[in-house]
Amino acid sequence: MELCFLGTGAGRPAKNRNVTSIILQFAQSPHGLWLFDCGEGSQHQLMHTPYKINRISHIFITHLHGDHIFGLPGLLSSRAFQGGTQPVVLFGPKGLKQWLDTTLSISQTHLGHELEIREIEEGVIFEDERYRVEARILEHRIACFGYRVVEKAQPGRLKVELLKEMGLTAGPLYGRLKRGEDVVIGDGAVIYAKYVTEPPVPGRIITILGDTKPCAGAVELARNADLVVHEATFEAALKEKAKEFGHSTTKHAALTAKEAGAKQLFLTHFSSRYNDEDTEKLVEEAREIFPNTEAARDLHAVKIKAVKTQI
């Protein structure tokens, strides 16, 4: 899995930052690319990455402020122009469908592929055999969600040497055992999968939060996460301004990660008042509380490593 920040600024684009958008890439087919928020200029940022726009299959919108959605009609239109024919599933707050349907209709934009818009509430909003996505309401000026992407536990490695001692060589039976199925071999003996496999490998957890003040929902979404993306619009000294506008400071983000027992924190959604040199000072504020903190940078990709399994 790989996370790439297409934009890390708040409110409006700046010379050194675009507005919010994040790509999550999966190694496994058919998941392809998931997009979280789509501020103005997101498709242009995408052109500076190796990711292909027509591989975007799921889009998750945190809230309907312009710096998180104004790039969406253009991105969907370009996706269609570039041969994107596979369906797209779009998740977000109530009102997203009305806004996008109206924009596409009035501009006479025809996508040429199915677009399913799911206006969500709290809870599990997506699940398949490999991943689950949970959403919770955050505390902002308008309805805003955070998302928790959970990779389900994967089968543990096979005890190959033990199987060889039993006279079983690599082949289809190995696959069945790894899937947790018991198998019967030639002499009628049963090989029980639980005895020839290591314990399951825990999946990774990625938490991507929308704009928010400190709140319980953010902590629950970030609980034991491998990586948390949390807004840090303001420095710690501006905590009253952050509260007024429904945002967080660097230390608010760090406290959330610490309380949640997260492993790594990336700060994003920086006010345009901060330049690149200021960003390091913002990170240092957060590290006083949560040492494993980094600042997100436009077009910076982060690999989220998994425990390797062997067969």
Over the stretch 264-280, which tens digit does the pLDDT of each residue have? 999 999 999 999 889 99
235 has pLDDT over 90 = yes
Over the stretch 133-178, which tens digit does the pLDDT of each residue have? 999 999 999 999 999 999 998 777 888 888 888 877 777 888 888 7
pTM over 0.85: yes
Predicted confidence at residue 30, as pLDDT, reads 62
Rg (CA), the chain: 22
Average pLDDT, stretch 120-133? Answer: 96
Over the stretch 244-260, which tens digit does the pLDDT of each residue have? 999 999 999 999 999 99
| Residue 67 assigned to a binding site | yes
Over the stretch 72-103, which tens digit does the pLDDT of each residue have? 999 999 998 877 788 999 999 999 999 999 99
220 has pLDDT over 70 = yes
| Residue 44 assigned to a binding site | no
187 in catalytic set: no
Residues 32 and 15: their CA atoms lie apart, in Å, by 30
DSSP state of 305: -
Predicted confidence at residue 191, as pLDDT, reads 86
| Residue 140 assigned to a binding site | yes
Residues 21 and 49: their CA atoms lie apart, in Å, by 13
Catalytic residue among 67, 128, 187, 298: 67
Average pLDDT, stretch 60-70? Answer: 98
Q: 243: closest CA among 215, 268, 216?
A: 215
| Residue 63 assigned to a binding site | yes
Predicted confidence at residue 294, as pLDDT, reads 97
| Residue 58 assigned to a binding site | no
Q: 58: closest CA among 170, 154, 147?
A: 147
| Peptide bond before residue 30 is cis, with ω within 30 degrees of 0 | yes
Structural domains of the chain sorted by starting position, each given as residue range(s) with its CATH number in brackets? 2-154+201-303 (3.60.15.10), 160-195 (no CATH)
